[in-house]
Structure 1
């Protein structure tokens, strides 16, 4: 604990001679003695060590409040001076900055000045609010005649521009490749080497895409690297020095069996006759110059590379358990000729053609993928390509990988290059399942059983308007709401640095507030779907692997009805950060370890944020998204057990929220009210963040989640919703 040094005792005088005002300021009544006595306020800022020794940190006058936290620049100076290569330094508060007080570091380097090294050093040792906003290199520190730093002679920060405020172009090939990848995936016209990935709108799904595309350029990255090195400059420097890590990745065309994953177990648990009609699909506008011959070559190359597309399913044993093996399917390309259709009939004819093939897959034959090229009239600029893949072999991230490879293969064919399978594969679905199974039987996972039983044990069903039964997909309806482009841009690029959050944190916060307000119950239970590609297993790299990796687990949010927007965000963020291993253990316990107490769902509402879909096909010269409806991708007779499925996607610069529900359980007015309430809550959270001039921290930012809550940390740091008074620290 640090504070102002107060001196008491017999040697303290009553005050300054004939200076009553100064005496009243410096000589104060002793607060801990009832019989009188005075204390002298030295103005020195100190810290007391456990040994009793006192370290001088600076003057109280130097103390500054940054983002609501009291900071002693002298403490930052002390830490920075320990960085190798720093000969001298001083950190000062700059109160002239228009955006509020900030820290400025003046550094005399022993050799070359490297701001990135200094930033990395302090990031590993001090919280975010104690980081200097500006580093100024000096040949030497100016001194007064008595040897102290002459602060008045230091360069004015107003005359210095931070690197982060400037566009700095890439300096080498690796930086050029990375900035191009970022710009394309983040739909940003220009990316500088000091731009922050997450402040540009990056998220965990885009991270996977970056790593996958970087590998194609020969840049070896891991998912966690982008969280540790958030600028191109830092990432490229790290990648240039990093040796390629050993990756467990089966090569060649795979054969044999592969264990089912938790989400695949969930699928077969539904026990329906409609199992072959549970797809994901995408309908593209395709350049007419792309021939069926080339399409067939591309499809076969993709199936050869992505082994999960060749899975075959069959039942074994008395209990009829489903098994998964690698088959020999090479794919089917169908052709539909609509060249004679009138423009008025084209859209309905395309949908009708797509619908026929949506129901054409067969999991027991290993027919998991089908492409349909639809030839359109000459007046239509593009043909159409329907790509249907059974969900057992694909997920949202897989589509991004598949489309990237498809674009690459079409480019190669256009250049006259053969599609020879020379690429080194990333870890297979089987590699990942072996690692997941080993993880499932560790003490790290088995010890989580009590946590998940506590989460699921308090579940209460949501209210319904009508008592429907035997719900199937044909009874479903959907209400769509849209967050405008300005608020969407703020959600993706502005608000998350304020509380060090992710997009999902605010989306779930708004959902929790909406459901709690509707039910009057402060506990909200949600089935949360994530991409499941967590960077948890050393030697396993699935950034270029297709398959169904989705992770589905229960979340219980405690919603504080009277909390401010800021405290609500902090609370939900900390609750989400306290979930062990991002929920990966739940599916392992329920399906791989077969824990009986976790056999049943403990949610009625499922939430899934699918991320930014614009970057999937935005850069291709061969295809783009088609406007027509591609038919129902799941059988209308497929059973439905969730009351609501809420999905969020970003497309065309706006966040779209879809509330899918059973019309036999809810009136549309109920769902429209919920959907409107959700947008209202989300808007309030976004606007709150955009009006915050200072950033805030929570326990999880220090690895303290689960040890103290955000209120205790705020109290410890002296943070309240309003400005607090300076206190006295007793040694």
Structure 2
């Protein structure tokens, strides 16, 4: 791995043991072939580390002591270290992540020689750790459980109860609205006895759960709340005030359609179908994913669970064909017609079996789906050891999205646990299926309220739409390709903290700050003032869509005019308003918008925008990245990728830093340009935050080395005037 990039620590040489006594499976797992010296072996320590620029290796903790919660990769040891700094009375501490009420939560276990005020301990940690690393529960024990070897037995740590959660002083609900809100909050957060002065976010709420609140409020109170309002108002009593002040909007269920041979498709499905007719485009809409499973699994029960989920969600048994009238329709197949099978692969006898798994996944990831015949889901259970598996699946975007993948996994494991016990799985009742949503969406588009959404977007995107013209030496292919590459870097603690503080002080979100800064960078690179970017949004505002699998994802178009004389403060305010307006009108399908605009088709580009920005805060992306201290100032090359747009920027909060991954079309832009873009963006962002009142055109984003080259090296020309010839 490059300098500064985390990797696993291995030991090789004459001192490496032959293996574990009478434990062949563990020996096979830990003692592997040395890829650098033929015939030698090396030992997998299970630890993580990284090279430093001086040649030393920095220890970064153990791989099995890292967790991912709400999209954040967390090193438990870092939290434990912070807990132990609280005071001399606190003797031992261990932090564990456990499943609780629809998600993982952090639990701090500790022993102490004197009474510890848990509220003060939490306040202490809030001043030293990012919010997502502060434990939600605090459990004091007389002693920590130990294994026979004297190590802390994490599996023996007890569960948590309500009193282990740090709470504000309890204030009971004072009216019927607050009583109903308490019930909703308890269901969404999985916490009992919630008071009206408590904060949704302090109780473990986040953006995805706010989406659930919006759906619940619509169903119970007949009001439609905005994300903006609920982000600003955190307490239960403030939500009560918002509901009382809101205009009633009667809740309407999504109606079921009558059974038929085939059904209409949604706008997003139509666009994916059209794009998938081009072979190279089709593979770009594959959504491969895998999960490592540790422990003894009942293979037959696991297979049965997957089959049950496929049977439960009609969309997983759906294919797409043109009917006799020439219309693209969706057809729902029976289990027998679908011919869906789960692959079981036993790699236990293969040496370096993890490499076989990697190769298998890489090959299948680009394997095309047949939209007319199906199935549009492939699943494999791969066994590496007696107690280690990989569950791999690949699904086409026309029947799924990131949220759906979470539903699929949750359903599979709920069914597995039930089948293993000989019980029937208890899953939320699905009153409707995707075909009902597609018909409902079509009906919604005909209503007068949707005319307002349509008018907003047609006005916002009226006139000539600019196209991105970043400098490049490559000639753009006549037809758009998906050949891409991924580069990444990490923003320092200082820059990340400054950006978050700036957004909070200006009553906005981190996403708005990222969009504004990227637009400022694009303006400085191109001089273009009309800058258009896209960003995905879940598209599940209706309560009935929460537990569904299907393609509900919508895309927002964010168009702003950037002037050189504008300050970053001006641009941020402009982007903030644009984003809030886009959220308000998010129901109008992007795919319908593309058709409505009647654009002149340019087969070398994407429709409307060429740049996509994503802030990943829902855990969809799985990257094996852990940061515990400052990382080297270097660009990381993640290798080849399938690029759907000219330029896609994926941001993610990791510890108290922001990571930025750029996925670019390598047929359009070269690697040097993208490396330069990332380096300049890092400098530009810091300068924008430090000089937010200065004109954007005056912000200096060149490094000292670049200035030296431009001003001195390139101008260091020696000449003799006497030898010049005048013409």
Would you say the 8 A contact 1:251–1:424 is kept in 2?
no
Q: Give the count of matched residue pairs.
A: 488
What is the DSSP-based 3-state SS (H/G/I as helix, E as strand, rest coil) of the residue aligned with 1:388?
strand
Superposition pairs of residues 311-460 of structure 1, within 5 angstroms: 311-317=318-324, 321-329=327-335, 331-342=340-351, 345-358=352-365, 359=367, 361-378=369-386, 382-419=388-425, 423-425=428-430, 427-441=432-446, 442=448, 443-448=451-456, 450-454=458-462, 456-459=464-467
What is the DSSP-based 3-state SS (H/G/I as helix, E as strand, rest coil) of the residue aligned with 2:364?
helix
Would you say the 8 A contact 1:464–1:666 is kept in 2?
yes
- Residues 460, 684 of structure 1: CA spacing in aligned structure 2 closer, same or farther, 3 A cutoff? closer
Would you say the 8 A contact 2:650–2:660 is kept in 1?
yes
- Residues 170, 438 of structure 1: CA spacing in aligned structure 2 closer, same or farther, 3 A cutoff? same
> For the residues of structure 1 that align with 2:358 and 2:486, how far apart are their CA atoms?
19
Question: What is the CA distance between 1:176 and its match in structure 2?
Answer: 9.5
> For the residues of structure 2 that align with 1:461 and 1:584, how far apart are their CA atoms?
30
Superposition pairs of residues 31-46 of structure 1, within 5 angstroms: none
Look up the match of 2:73: none
What is the DSSP-based 3-state SS (H/G/I as helix, E as strand, rest coil) of the residue aligned with 1:516?
helix
Superposition pairs of residues 521-540 of structure 1, within 5 angstroms: 521-534=528-541
- Residues 543, 653 of structure 1: CA spacing in aligned structure 2 closer, same or farther, 3 A cutoff? farther
> For the residues of structure 2 that align with 1:407 and 1:474, how far apart are their CA atoms?
34
Look up the match of 1:467: 475
Is 2:269 the counterpart of 1:260? no
Question: What is the CA distance between 1:245 and its match in structure 2?
Answer: 5.1
> For the residues of structure 2 that align with 1:433 and 1:200, how far apart are their CA atoms?
35
- Residues 632, 465 of structure 1: CA spacing in aligned structure 2 closer, same or farther, 3 A cutoff? closer
> For the residues of structure 2 that align with 1:671 and 1:193, how far apart are their CA atoms?
50
> For the residues of structure 2 that align with 1:676 and 1:632, how far apart are their CA atoms?
18
> 1:670-716: per-residue Cα shift (whole Å, max 9, x none)?
11122233344445667799xxxxxxxxxxxxxxxxxxxxxxxxxxx
Would you say the 8 A contact 1:462–1:604 is kept in 2?
no
- Residues 313, 490 of structure 1: CA spacing in aligned structure 2 closer, same or farther, 3 A cutoff? farther
Larger radius of gyration: 1
Is 2:580 the counterpart of 1:577? yes
Superposition pairs of residues 110-259 of structure 1, within 5 angstroms: 167-168=168-169, 178=185, 182=189, 194-197=197-200, 204-208=207-211, 224=225, 230-231=233-234, 233-234=236-237, 247-248=253-254, 250=256, 256-259=261-264
> For the residues of structure 1 that align with 2:432 and 2:582, how far apart are their CA atoms?
26
Would you say the 8 A contact 2:310–2:316 is kept in 1?
yes
What is the DSSP-based 3-state SS (H/G/I as helix, E as strand, rest coil) of the residue aligned with 2:342?
strand
Question: What is the CA distance between 1:522 and its match in structure 2?
Answer: 2.4
> For the residues of structure 2 that align with 1:235 and 1:371, how far apart are their CA atoms?
46
What is the DSSP-based 3-state SS (H/G/I as helix, E as strand, rest coil) of the residue aligned with 1:457?
coil
> 1:96-126: per-residue Cα shift (whole Å, max 9, x none)?
xxxxxxxxxxxxxxxxxxxxxxxxxxxxxxx
Would you say the 8 A contact 1:301–1:419 is kept in 2?
no
What is the DSSP-based 3-state SS (H/G/I as helix, E as strand, rest coil) of the residue aligned with 1:454?
coil
> 1:13-51: per-residue Cα shift (whole Å, max 9, x none)?
xxxxxxxxxxxxxxxxxxxxxxxxxxxxxxxxxxxxxxx
Question: What is the CA distance between 1:662 and its match in structure 2?
Answer: 2.5
> For the residues of structure 1 that align with 2:415 and 2:196, how far apart are their CA atoms?
30
5+ residue gaps in structure 2? Answer: 1-165, 174-178, 625-637, 693-727
Look up the match of 1:483: 491
Would you say the 8 A contact 1:440–1:588 is kept in 2?
no
Question: What is the CA distance between 1:314 and its match in structure 2?
Answer: 1.4
Is 2:509 the counterpart of 1:508? no
Bigger Cα displacement from structure 2, 554-563 vs 307-316: 554-563
> For the residues of structure 2 that align with 1:232 and 1:415, how far apart are their CA atoms?
41
Would you say the 8 A contact 2:485–2:663 is kept in 1?
yes
Would you say the 8 A contact 1:205–1:397 is kept in 2?
no
Would you say the 8 A contact 1:258–1:325 is kept in 2?
yes
Of residues 595, 598, 608, the one that matches 1:596 is 598
Is 2:498 the counterpart of 1:498? no
What is the DSSP-based 3-state SS (H/G/I as helix, E as strand, rest coil) of the residue aligned with 1:247?
coil
Look up the match of 1:307: 314
Would you say the 8 A contact 1:247–1:541 is kept in 2?
yes
Superposition pairs of residues 598-677 of structure 1, within 5 angstroms: 601-613=607-619, 642-650=645-653, 654-677=657-680
- Residues 454, 357 of structure 1: CA spacing in aligned structure 2 closer, same or farther, 3 A cutoff? same
> 1:459-494: per-residue Cα shift (whole Å, max 9, x none)?
4644432104156767311111223567657767x5
> 1:505-534: per-residue Cα shift (whole Å, max 9, x none)?
112111101111111222212233322334
> For the residues of structure 2 that align with 1:505 and 1:644, how far apart are their CA atoms?
18
TM-score by length of 1: 0.56
